[in-house]
Chain A
Amino acid sequence: DAGVTQSPTHLIKTRGQQVTLRCSPKSGHDTVSWYQQALGQGPQFIFQYYEEEERQRGNFPDRFSGHQFPNYSSELNVNALLLGDSALYLCASSSPENRQGAGIGELFFGEGSRLTVL
């Protein structure tokens, strides 16, 4: 059973360019969340997708957008890249069972995509 997979693992872009990161959730999971993790910091929530729609969004500008496909996989797009966008981008998935009761239960994270903006 494959866990959460992300691609690419590493990439380098220049300021002003655009990037697309991809995520396949763990089998049986229907919800995908994206996080940005700067060096030495905790993950910061970008947005969450469920049923192909953005359900919740963190404090990130509109340059950050996403999409979820019918097979539950997801993409994160960042336009007009800035140096400060350099970070590890993490995808996490969760299952319907996680949502029973209060809280979200266990999130399963991928290993991330390391983005460097020069």
Chain B
Amino acid sequence: GESVGLHLPTLSVQEGDNSIINCAYSNSASDYFIWYKQESGKGPQFIIDIRSNMDKRQGQRVTVLLNKTVKHLSLQIAATQPGDSAVYFCAENKPGSYIPTFGRGTSLIVHP
């Protein structure tokens, strides 16, 4: 079946490095993608989104890249900080749907 998945379950980086979290999606009909951050003991928190008519979108220290040709989504975090340690989920939406489908998540560990 079609699903959202992640390449790496755990990513360890040093403080100050740039982090890249990847996500593969298989539903070619999806037209809207979201990245969420979930800290321990909390609910997911919206980070950034991107629509399928865009290739790149930037926020504060974060950039999302969308490659529709290979159905790949990535989240880049610049100058990673210990407070960025969390599980990151990508989620996708099909046209007309109000329900994002979440992938399994990647755990980001930032070492001081």
Contacts and interface: CB of A to CB of B under 8 A. Distances in A.
B73 to A, nearest CB: 14
Interface in A81-115: 90, 92, 94, 99, 102-112
Contacts of B34: 106-107
A33 interface: yes
Interface string B91-112: 1010111111111110000000
B32 A31 contact: no
A90 B99 CA distance: 14
Interface string A36-47: 000011111100
Interface residues of A, number: 29
Contacts, number: 70
B43 A103 contact: no
B89 A104 contact: no
A102 B46 contact: no
A109 B45 contact: yes
A104 B41 CA distance: 25
B51 interface: yes
A48 interface: yes
A47 to B, nearest CB: 9
B104 to A, nearest CB: 5
A35 to B, nearest CB: 8
A28 to B, nearest CB: 16
A99 B96 CA distance: 9
Contacts of A14: none
Contact of A106 (B31, B49, B99): B49
Given A102-B32, A106-B46, A106-B49, A94 B104 contact: no
A56 interface: yes
Nearest to A103: B32
Nearest to B103: A42
- In the complex, the 8 A-B pairs of residues with the closest C-beta atoms, listed nearest first: A109-B43, A103-B32, A42-B102, A104-B98, A106-B46, A103-B93, A43-B102, A109-B44
Given A43-B89, A48-B98, A112-B43, 4 more contacts: A42-B102, A42-B105, A111-B42, A111-B43
